[in-house]
Amino acid sequence: MSRIEWNDSLKSNHEEIDKQHYRWIEIYNKLHDTLLSKGSVDNLLDITRDTLKSIEDYAQYHFKYEEEFMKTMNFPHIVEHKRLHKDFDTQIYELNRDIREGRAVLNTQLIKMMKNWIEDHILNSDKKYIEYYNSHYKQDTWK
């Protein structure tokens, strides 16, 4: 599993959304580098726990912003998009629960889940509301 590099295909040309998506990639790359490094099992467990907490916290912040943005433009597929956010929240909750209850969480499992979600969500799901916005509003009004 490789790192994710920020590139033009990930850009929405909305400054705040791009900033937040870039932050997702930073979180993923830190997770990738840390979990694939050599370290003690206890250290990796602490890192995994801390990283999941960071993911959970950032997801709340980012999802709230995206959902408010979609609401302001009356995006017709907001319910489906919010469902994707809820599904991701559930995955993170379940991983946190597994760690709390002493069940093993494979680092490769966490990295793969994050990479798939980031790439699919930014490149597919988020592109839908970006395209909607571009087709219904002037792009020069973006902040």
For 72-118, what is each residue's pLDDT tens digit?
A: 999 999 999 999 999 999 999 999 898 888 887 777 888 899 999 99
Distance in angstroms between the alpha carbons of the first and the last residue of the chain:
34
Higher pLDDT, residue 43 or 57: 57
Question: Residues 96, 52: contact at Cβ < 8 Å?
Answer: yes
Contacts of residue 91, Cβ cutoff 8 Å, sequence gap at least 6: 113, 117
**3-class SS of residue 44:** helix
- pLDDT tier at 53 (50, 70, 90 boundaries)? confident
SS3 assignment, position 88: helix
Alpha helices in 73-106 (DSSP H): 78-100
Which of 26-35, 43-52, 78-87, 95-104: highest mean pLDDT?
78-87
Return the pLDDT at 138: 60
